[in-house]
Amino acid sequence: MNGDIRTFHPNGARDGILPFSNGKKQGLHQEYTSSGNPLVQSDFMDGELDGKKINYYYDDGYRRDVLYTKGKTEGKVLYTWLNGNTKSEVFAKDSLYEGPYHTWYADGKPESEGSYNMGITSGKWIEYYPNGVKKTEGENDETGELTGKKINYYRNGNIESEEESYTAGLLNGTYKSYYPNGKISKIITYNENEAVSIENFDINGKSLFTASGQNGELKFRNYYPDGILEMEGVLKNGSREGTWNF
């Protein structure tokens, strides 16, 4: 088969112009929306993507430009907001993302940054709020799992929570969360993602709740705001176990 295949939307508007040579896709393939706007533009050689491919995502407000060599993504992968600002930028090798990446909000302010290693996010990464303040920061190991410390922030820049230490994606050590004014709200100690102790505080730093244990069993204590014990007992796998005191 040689020549162009031309398709049309039900309203009569062109849908696609698809060139072929010897039965294989060849040259610039073009697809359009029913209103006539470009949807996909792809360069082919001997049936394989070779050259630039552009996708338009009108509902989400951006386009994607990718370079191909013999069917594989090679070089810069660029996402652009339809207002002209860059949405994200990363490089690819053998169809896998490689090296640093950056993303931006539509107004040009930074959204996130980090790096890829053979298609896997690894190393330190940061996410930002639209106002430019850090939202979250952490680090991934070479397999893409969380490692080390992870911190979440409020929009005002104060710390919202700290997760002390991850190993291969499992949380070990202390998780702390804070009220927006910086006062401690909760402390949880983990052992490989299992909570072994919990303590909640009111905004003035007074303990309201404690629990400790392991293997799915927690000794539970809850306090009134004036510090008097409200109830205590044992929770096993989320359900009350044995005698409770009120």
Question: CA of 193: how far to CAs of 141, 152, 189, 213, in Å?
Answer: 17, 18, 9, 14
Q: Among 76-85, 149-158, 167-176, whose mean pLDDT is lowest? A: 167-176
Kindly report, residue by residue over 21-78, the tens digit of the pLDDT: 999 999 999 999 999 999 999 999 999 999 999 999 999 999 999 999 999 999 999 9
150 φ, ψ to 5°? -125, 135
Whether the Cβ atoms of residue 5 and residue 18 lie closer than 8 Å to each other = yes
Res 145 pLDDT > 90: yes
- Measure the CA–CA gap between 240 and 235, rounded to whole angstroms: 5
* Segment 169-189, tens digit of pLDDT: 888 889 999 999 899 999 998
Q: For 197-202, what is the mean pLDDT?
A: 87
- Alpha carbon 191 to its chain centroid, in Å, reads 25
- Look up the pTM and report it: 0.80
Res 246: pLDDT: 66
CA distance 195 to 175: 10
213-236 pLDDT, tens per residue?
766 676 767 766 666 766 777 766
